[in-house]
Amino acid sequence: MLLGYSRTLAWWRFLDQPALQLIAQQHGTLFEAIHRPYLHRNWSGKQRYRALLGHYCLLGSLSELRLYDAHRHPVSLFSGEFGGRRLELALHKDQRFCREGELAMSLFVDGQRRLSLAFILAEQEGRRALYVGCLQGSRGDGCRETLAECTRAMHGLRPRDLLLWALRLLGEAIHAQDIYAVSHRFQQYSSAHYIFGGGKKIQADYDTAWTEAGGLLLPTGFFHLPVKVQERCLSEVKSSKRAMYRRRYEMLEAMRHDFLAKLHRGQPGEVVIEAPCATAHSFPIKPVAPVSAIIAPF
């Protein structure tokens, strides 16, 4: 009880600094985030605290990127016309995913959000990683049909694969070595807190998505995904599909240029986020979320 109270005070004090006050004022659920299931159904309060603390501490060291801005307002990373539709990739903080990640990479079609991937940043001993809490489509009418149209317009590239490609590109930009995506079984909405509370049910088949993306299931309930993926050599593609793959690769190369240009700040910026001092509290605190604590076996 005392540890939980001390951890709560430490979290609130951490949020009570100018850069984080602005985020917390817009997203009030951030204050209670360490007290509810978050990202992985079996994470303890201590693990949730360290994961969130680690995300925001790392955020402060990446001020050359527009990651902090994305916590306050959507940052468009790419937009263009495909098959008569306006597609946009945006990075933002979305209350709909407040239990699954601090940032979301979303695909908007004609101004409507159609698919999102939520995640957090993490670091241990200089090794950076991204932790993915969900990959979900919107519930709007015709969403499935719209995504199918996007696949055809993007030369056979599925929207979910586009989001994973964008996440990997972000991972490269922050020099991440690993991506960990939660399995369906351990997704936080599968916890007893929500099952017996009659809350949200997840329909997405996470495991298939992560496996097809080259993920390897770990005993911790996470899939480990490679940050860098080698594109298929055109000589290995069936001759009937080579033209399609060539157009797809050209499209992704153009997207990559815009994505990285918009992800980086036009002018140097500074985001000051101070990690709590361990001596100021009654329990040990580390400035960033240790990977060993986050993905330890349960």
pLDDT digits (tens, 9 = 90+) for 29-42: 999 999 999 999 99
From CA 197, how far away is CA 191, in angstroms rounded?
A: 10
Q: What is the mean pLDDT of residues 58-87?
A: 95
- Percent of the chain that is helix, strand, coil (3-state, to 5): 45, 20, 35
Q: What is the mean pLDDT of residues 177-199?
A: 72
| Of the candidates 90, 83, 112, the residue with the CA atom closest to the CA atom of residue 251 | 83
- pTM, to two decimals: 0.87
Q: What is the mean pLDDT of residues 264-280?
A: 74
Burial 201-234 (b: 16+ CB within 10 A, else e): eeeeebbebbeebebeeeebbbbbbebeeeeeee
The domain total for the chain is 1
Residue 224: strand, helix, or coil: strand
The helix (H) or strand (E) run that includes residue 9 is helix 2-15
For 257, the domain range is 2-294
Q: Would you place residue 119 in the very low, low, confident or very high pLDDT band (cuts 50, 70, 90)?
A: very high
Q: Would you place residue 204 in the very low, low, confident or very high pLDDT band (cuts 50, 70, 90)?
A: low
How far apart, in Å, are the Cα atoms of 221 and each of 13, 24, 41, 212? 31, 30, 9, 17
How far apart, in Å, are the Cα atoms of 22 and each of 66, 158, 211? 15, 36, 38
Highest mean pLDDT among 118-127, 130-139, 168-177: 168-177
What was the pLDDT predicted at 140? 72
